[in-house]
């Protein structure tokens, strides 16, 4: 498929294209670094023992080692978050040029060296070996940092951070819609919401494939999707309090408009024509206010 900028536009991934395994992996990403937060905890006990025994210098050294180990765990966790974001997205943040996992492993090595030499009173050689083992072990368990691309889009007026920020915001709104959908018992409405979510993810895929489209999809992914989230949550909260028929009719009407706007958004993104789409979004916003669902 060609667009007005020339060349072939990549086809969007079906249904917004994110595998369930990727979602689960992303949710588990922070827990992978949990071990690094747990392992240094005995240092707190050692610090307390050193303080009660009157060994102030050793207590300070152990406290410093503990603080560095916590900092190292935070760095590794940040690196894991970036790694999972890079797997989910085709875009990498500029700020990820810092190799967080490698830096974290190095800081952990320093923490081990200080704790072993000044806290446990090991020899310099033994302390160096323990520090090296900690650093290498961290690298083996958590792996290397992902390759950093130079995905900048200044030529089209957006940066990788802007694209990722809006896509991540859209993910949060979609998660809220999915949560509200789980509280709705009407099978027809649940199916329509499932289709709406798939359509939104397809639009996100178009933007991710060609970040220049962010300029045309920004209003949709922020203002419009926010309205879709609010109206879905509002229906999920209110439909159990009676007047089911009238409320469902209003919600169906809104869903019809949402589905129409999604189709319009995809078509206009491909055609690079935003004028009619802006009108459709304005109509939807007015409808949301009028219906008061």
pLDDT digits (tens, 9 = 90+) for 79-118: 888 777 666 666 655 545 678 888 999 999 999 999 888 8
Sign of the CA dihedral 192, 197, 201, 203? positive
Banded pLDDT at 247 (limits 50, 70, 90): confident
3-class SS at 5?
coil
Question: For residue 35, what are the CA distances in angstroms to 28, 31, 71, 102, 209?
Answer: 13, 8, 13, 17, 36
Which pLDDT belongs to residue 237? Answer: 84
CA distance 283 to 183: 27
| Number of alpha helices (DSSP H) and beta strands (DSSP E) in the chain | 12, 0
Query: Does the pLDDT value for residue 274 go beyond 80?
Result: no
Both tokens of 173, joined, read: 């709104």
Query: Does the pLDDT value for residue 194 go beyond 90?
Result: yes
Whether the CB-CB separation of 131 and 78 falls below 8 Å is answered with no
> Who's near 163: CB < 8 A, 6+ residues apart?
91, 153, 207, 208, 211, 214
CA distance 218 to 163: 9
Overall average pLDDT of the 177-203 stretch: 91
Both tokens of 37, joined, read: 């937060």
Q: Which of 222, 203, 214 is closest to 156 using CA atoms? A: 214
3-class SS at 172?
helix
More confident residue, 151 or 208: 208
Query: Does the pLDDT value for residue 3 go beyond 70?
Result: no
Q: Which of 4, 142, 166, 17 is closest to 77 using CA atoms? A: 142
Instruction: Choose the weakest-confidence range: 1-15, 108-122, 177-191, 262-276.
Output: 1-15
Overall average pLDDT of the 17-22 stretch: 40
Helix 100-114 / helix 56-88 crossing angle, nearest 10 deg: 160
Whether the CB-CB separation of 196 and 170 falls below 8 Å is answered with no
Burial call 78-110: b when 16+ CB within 10 Å, e when fewer: bbbbbbbbbebbebbbeebeebbbbbbbbbbbb
User: What predicted TM-score, i.e. pTM, was given to this entire model?
Assistant: 0.55
């Amino acid at each position: 498929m060609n667009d007005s900028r020339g060349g072939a536009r990549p086809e969007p991934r079906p249904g917004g294209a994110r595998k369930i395994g990727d979602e689960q992996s992303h949710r588990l990403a922070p827990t992978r670094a949990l071990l690094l937060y747990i392992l240094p905890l005995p240092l707190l006990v050692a610090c307390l023992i050193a303080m009660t025994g009157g060994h102030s210098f050793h207590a300070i050294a152990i406290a410093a080692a503990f603080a560095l180990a916590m900092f190292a765990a935070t760095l590794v966790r940040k690196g894991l978050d970036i790694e999972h974001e890079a797997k989910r997205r085709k875009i990498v943040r500029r700020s990820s040029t810092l190799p967080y996992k490698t830096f974290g492993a190095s800081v952990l090595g320093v923490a081990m060296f200080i704790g072993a030499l000044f806290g446990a009173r090991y020899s310099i050689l033994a302390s160096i070996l323990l520090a090296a083992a900690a650093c290498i072990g961290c690298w083996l368990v958590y792996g290397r940092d992902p390759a950093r691309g130079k995905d900048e889009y200044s030529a089209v007026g957006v940066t990788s951070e802007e694209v990722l920020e809006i896509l991540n915001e859209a993910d949060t709104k979609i998660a809220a819609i999915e949560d509200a959908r789980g509280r709705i018992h009407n099978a027809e409405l649940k199916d329509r919401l499932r289709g709406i979510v798939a359509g939104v993810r397809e639009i996100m895929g178009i933007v991710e494939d060609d970040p220049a489209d962010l300029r045309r999809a920004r209003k949709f992914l922020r203002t419009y999707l926010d309205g879709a989230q609010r109206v879905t949550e509002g229906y999920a909260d209110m439909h159990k309090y009676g007047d089911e028929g009238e409320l469902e009719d209003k919600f169906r009407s809104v869903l019809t408009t949402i589905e129409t706007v999604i189709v319009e958004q995809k078509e206009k993104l491909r055609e690079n024509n935003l004028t009619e789409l802006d009108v459709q979004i304005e109509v939807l916003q007015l409808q949301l206010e009028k219906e008061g669902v």
